Structures are given as structure tokens and as C-alpha cells.
Amino acid sequence: MALLPVLAACGGGGSGCNLLGGALCDSSTPVVNQAPVAVAGANQSVLLGAGSVKLNGSGSTDANGDALTYEWAMDSRPPRSAADLSQATSVEPTFTPDLPGEYRFSLVVSDTKLRSARSLVTVTVSEVNAPPVANAGVDQSVLVNAVVSLDGRDSSDANRDNVLTFTWSLVRPDGTSAVLTGVRPTFTAALTGTYTASLTVRDEVSSSAPDAVRVVVSAVNAPPVAVITAPSSVVMGTRVQLSAASSTDSNRDTLNYKWALLDKPRKATGALADSAAVLSSATLVNPLFTADVAGFYVLSLVVNDGQVNSEPVTVLVTASSQNLPPVANAGPEQVVVVGAPVTLSGSASTDPNEDTLTYQWSLTTRPNLSAAALTNPNTVGPTFTPDLAGFYVATLTVNDSKGGTHVSRVLIKAE
């Protein structure tokens, strides 16, 4: 606290001070300078991706009416966040959050003589909930009175919410009634015709758009259904593995396969060279070919159940001369017990060029006051022990040997 002398003008009879003489009293009255008070504003809750966040110190005060200067600091932010304050000496600085979690700031103000105590403010950043995506599976052909298994396991939720609810309904043919529950319900196709099963998936906040699957029920042998599994893009020089293993026959007949390489890069169509690619076999379930020239490769498949052929299906494989990034997969969500070791797994991560991958894990979210830490975070399967109940988020970054990188996260609930 500072004391400032103030000279006062004096008047009156015998004081020796008068206005005409211009004399001043030699007494002084001390004025106490008080420290200012910093106010960092109210705590905020915002959504990730909503843009910059503005802090506000305009509520700070100085009892003497002195001009104030502002000194903001970012005290903490989520692990791996690169967010920083802009204009940290202004009354209203800003920052742009780049990860969900808590961002903590402090403000100190000064009147050039004294500094205030720190004032704290917290900004909590949450991810926007995205509705799940329903996937009712592939169309089927069966014989009348067959037991049909539906499959919604390929439905997904971008936020990896803990609980997904599956609601099925049969909307055709008229008069059809069946109780369908769970992710893989079954029903008996008692009528010939086309059944349409509709699936809607709901997380804890919102519902997906419905997705439908057709089941064609016939009284005679149904043709098989050809399905090709192949990568959509590869790097030039890659040995491409094809597969017809997902092809189906409703009568469970043994299938025969007929593959064909319909088109490949040629100089005449703009490629740098003529491809010499050939299939390793035209009749195996899983033949190979080498994408030796950058460009487009078109392949077809027909399957036969011993009586009839399927409809032909085709697939396009694009070969590029550039490196493709890996795809990180931090594994499924887990519900665990406090104090029990948890093993994470990035083994489902892939690289379209079949490059060797390296792994970097981090705990980007954990309960307040938790001291949990990862063991062997640079391996495919690190471990940690949750020490408090709540939610933990583990982030996996995978890198190939050519600069490609990708990030995946997994939620662990400790009870």
C-alpha cells in the first residue's frame, strides 16, 4: 500500500495562509493506493470446432481509478494440445481449442504500482455428438422357410459412444410379423417374396437414419451372390490380394469362382507404360496380381453354385505412385475396474502400402486428480492402471516409414 502526499489550500483568519497571498499550508494528507482486483470472467463450456474462444477481464477493478494493464497466462491444457493465447496483454485475449478437455487460465492486473492476486477461469471443451450410422448388412437370397440372420455389426458411431441400441422392423411383405431384437436378430422366411428389414441405431443422444436390407425368398434354387473384397487404392508395385470369401449361396452349395482382369493401365489410355499384370489364378477364392503401373485396374467375379451363375460384380483398384498414409485403430471401447491393469491394442492398425508402423500412445483425458500413466507407450499394446473412477481417453498415433501418420482414440470407462 503506497501513501501519496496531497497539498491542500488553506484559508481563514490567523492561519498565515490566504488566497491573495497565494500561500499554501505545509501540511499534507496521505492517500492510500489500493491493489487492483483481477476478475478473469465466468467459466465457459464450448464445443470443439466452434472457432476461437474469447476470455474477458473487463470486470477487473481499481479502487483508485488507475488505468490497468493485463497479464493473462494459460496454466494448463489437454495433453498434446498446441493451443495458445493470442494478445495475452489485452483485456479480451482469445485462443482456439484443438482438443477436447479443460483449458485453465489466470489473470493478473496492475495499476503500475501494485499487482493484483491471480484470478482463475476454466474453459471446458467437448466434442460434438455425431449421430450413429446404421448398416443393416448385405442383401440375401434364401429359400422359403429358411432361418434368416440379419447383421447390424457394421453400424458405427463416430464418437464411439458406450451404448448403441438397435431397432429392427420388417416392412414387407404385407402381413409379415416378427420380433427382431439385438444386433444380429433372426426370423423365419415363411413366405415367398421380398422381405425388407429396416434398421435404426441410436446412441445416448441421437438416432441414425434408417438403413434397409432386402431378403429375396424363393421356392426354387436361388442364385449365389458374388462379393469381392479388395483394397480400393494401393501404391504402384504392391501385390494386391483379392478375395471372394464373402460370396454367399442361400442353399449353402459349394461355390466355384471365375475371375477376370477386365482392364489395366495402357499407354493408349494415358498411362506411362503398358501394364503386364496378370491374375495368379482365375479360379481360386483369393488370387493375386501386381499393380506394376500407376493407373486403374478393373476386375470382375462370377460365382456358380453348380447350377446357376451369380450376377457379375466388378471392383476398381487404383494404383498410385505416392505413399498412402496408414490407418490407426486404437481398438474397441472398454469398461474396466478401478485398480485393474488395462491393456490397449493398436494391432488392428493398417498401412495400404504394407509399410512397417510405429506406435505412439498417450492418455489425453483422465479423471481430475488421476495420476494414471501409460507403460510402454511406444509399443502396439501399452498398459495402464486406472486409479479413479471415470472416463479415460487413450490416443494412438501411427506412423509409417515415409511420413504418413494417422490418429485414433479409444474410450475406457473405469468403475
- For every residue of 66-127, DSSP letters joined together read ---EEEEEEEE--TT-----BSTTSSS-EE---SSEEEEEEEEEE-SS-BPPPEEEEEEEEP
- pLDDT reported for residue 9: 41
All residue ranges of the chain with pLDDT < 70 are: 1-29, 161-162, 175
* Separation of alpha carbons 160 and 334, rounded Å: 11
The answer to whether the CB of 80 falls within 8 A of the CB of 62 is no
Q: Which one of 3.40.50.10070, 3.40.50.920, 3.90.1150.10, 2.60.40.10 gives the CATH number of domain 140-218?
A: 2.60.40.10
Give SS3 for 393: strand
- pLDDT reported for residue 25: 45
- pLDDT reported for residue 18: 44
Q: Which of 232, 233, 292 is nearest to 266 (CA)?
A: 292
- pLDDT reported for residue 3: 44
233-267+275-320 belongs to CATH 2.60.40.10: yes
Q: Which of 292, 272, 274, 219 is nearest to 250 (CA)?
A: 219
- pLDDT reported for residue 272: 76
Give SS3 for 268: helix
What is the DSSP code (8-state) at residue 248? B
User: Where are the domains positioned within the chain?
Assistant: 44-126, 140-218, 233-267+275-320, 334-414
- pLDDT reported for residue 261: 97
CATH assignment, 334-414: 2.60.40.10
Whole-structure pTM value: 0.35
- pLDDT reported for residue 28: 58
44-126 belongs to CATH 2.60.40.10: yes
* Separation of alpha carbons 248 and 251, rounded Å: 9
DSSP secondary structure, 138-204, as one string: --EEEETTPEEE---TT-B-TT--S--EEEEEEEESTT-----BSSS-EEE--SSEEEEEEEEEE-S
Tell me if domain 44-126 and domain 233-267+275-320 are identical in fold: yes
* Separation of alpha carbons 157 and 200, rounded Å: 12
- Quote helix, strand, coil % in the chain, to nearest 5: 0, 40, 60
